[in-house]
Amino acid sequence: MIALFVLLALLFLWVLVSHRLSRWSITAPITFAAAGILISGGDHPVVPLDADTHTFQRAFELVLAVMLFTDATEAHEYARLREPVGQVRLLGLALPGSLVLAVLFGALVFPGTGWWLLAVIALVVMPMDLAPVLMLLRDERLPLRMRAALNIEGGFNDGLISPLFVFCLAHVVSEGDTFGHLVTNALKGAVYATVVGSVLGFLASKAVRSALRSSWAEPASLRLAGLALPFLAYSASVLVDGNGFVAAFVAGLWYAHVVSELSEDSLDLVNDVSHLLALAAWYAFGAVATQAFVGGHVLRYFAYALLVLVVARSVPVIASLSGTAFSRPERIAIGWLGPRGVTSIVFSVLAFTQLKGDDADFVVNVTAATVLLSVLLHGVTAEPVARWFARHPQPEEADPVR
C-alpha cells in the first residue's frame, strides 16, 4: 500500500511540473525510473516492492496486454495515409534482420552462452518503445511519413515479437520437453489466443456499434468498453491456455474498426491507464536496475547494448528502406530513432521471474544496460534530429487523407 501511495503521489507531482521539465528533456519515464532507483532501490529501500513473484509477474503481463491493445487500436490512423510508409519492410525485413544481428552480437560479446538464451535476450532488447521520445510523433518538424513509419513500427513490433519471446523463454525454462512439444504448445497458445481475441474483438465491435447507433449508450460512456476489452481478452485467453498478449493485440485490431465511429476521445481512458501502468513499470525498473551489474562484466553489457541500439537496429532499417520514397536522411533517422523502454522492461521482468540464478541476472543486466543507454542516447539526440529536419526540408511526402 505504501508503494501505491508513493506512485500516485509521484504521478500527481509530475503532472504539476511536467511541462517545465519537458523543456529540459526530462520525461516521465526518466522521472519514474529515477524515483524507483532512489526510493525502492538498493539493499535497504525506503519503500520496498515486496509483492510475491506470481503477483509481480501477472501485473507486468497485464501492463503489456493493455499496451498491445492500445497499439493495435491505432491501426485506423494508419489507413488514412495515401501511400505506404515502409511498414511491410520495417516489420517483415528489418525486424527479423535486427533480431538475427542481436543474437550474433550476443554470441560475440558473451561467448559460451546458449543460443536459446541469446534469442531470449535479443527478443527482450530489440522491441522499440517510443515513450521516451514520444514528443517526436507530434513534432511537425519531422516529415509526416517518417513519424508514421516510426509509429507503425512501434505499435506492431511488440505484438509480433511477444509469441516468439514466450516460445524461446519456454525452451530455456523447460528441462524435459522436446522441441516438437514446445512448438505444439506455442502454436496452440497462439491459435487459442487468436480465436479468443477475434471473437471478443468482433463481438465487442458489433455491440459498441449497435449501442451507438441505437442510442442505447453515449460515446463518452463507451470509453469504459475500450478499457475493459484488453483485460477481458487477456483473462479469457489465459483461462483456455492461450497467449494473453496475442489475444489482447488481436482484440485491439478488431476494435480499431469501430474507433473511427466513436468520439475522438473514445480511447483516451484506456490510453491514460496504459500510460499509468507503463510509468509503474518504469518505477519498478528503476528499483530492479540498482541490483544490476553486481556480478561484473559491466563493459560487456554496455558494449552489447551499444551494438544492438546502433548497428543491429540501424543497418537492417536503412537497408530495408532503400529504394523507397524515404530520403537518405530519413532512412538514417528512422534507423537511429529506435528507443527501448517498457516492452523490454516487461519482457525482462517476465524472464527474470521464470529463469533461475545466473540466467535471470544476465537478462536483467543486459536489459538495464540497454534501456539506460537508450534513454541517454535517444533522449539527448531527439531534439537535435528534429532541428536538423527543420533546417533541411525533405521532398514531398505522403499526406493523410482529409
CA–CA distance, 319 with 332 (Å, rounded to integer): 10
**pLDDT score, position 202:** 92
- 81: three-class secondary structure by DSSP: strand
- In this structure, of 127-136, 182-191, 361-370, the range with the lowest mean pLDDT score is 127-136
pTM strictly above 0.85: no
- For residue 393, the 8-state DSSP code is P
- The percent of residues in the chain predicted with pLDDT above 70, rounded, is 85
Spatial CA neighbour of 99 closest among 82, 120, 74, 83: 120
Share of the chain above pLDDT 90, in %: 18
pLDDT for 400 equals: 39
Statement: residue 245 has pLDDT above 70: yes
pLDDT at 52 over 80: no
Closest CA to 274 of 375, 346, 348: 346
**How many other C-beta atoms are found inside a 10 Å radius of the C-beta of residue 38?**
15
Q: Residue 79 above 90 pLDDT?
A: no
pLDDT tens, 278-316? Answer: 888 888 887 777 766 666 678 899 999 999 999 999 999
| Distance from C-alpha of 14 to C-alpha of 312, rounded to nearest angstrom | 34
Instruction: Give me the pLDDT at residue 301, please.
Output: 92
Q: What is the pLDDT of residues 314-338, one digit of tens each?
A: 999 999 998 888 888 889 999 998 8
pLDDT per residue as tens digits for the range 359-376: 888 898 899 899 989 888
**Helix or strand run (H / E) with residue 77:** helix 75-78
Q: Where are the alpha helices (DSSP H) in 174-308?
A: 179-213, 223-239, 244-259, 268-289, 298-306
Burial bucket for residue 242 (CB in 10 Å: 0-12, 13-18, 19+): buried
Give the model's pLDDT for residue 99. 95
- Kindly tell me if the per-residue pLDDT of 126 is higher than 90: yes
Tell me the pLDDT of the chain averaged across its residues.
82
Predicted confidence (pLDDT) at residue 82 exceeds the cutoff of 60: no
> Does residue 150 register a pLDDT over 80?
yes
Of residues 397 and 154, more confidently modeled: 154
Alpha-carbon distance 95 to 91, whole Å? 5
Residue 96 has pLDDT above 90, yes or no: yes
Backbone angles phi, psi at 357, to 5 degrees: 55, -125
pLDDT at 399: 42
CB contact set of 395 (below 8 Å; sequence gap of 6+): 325, 327
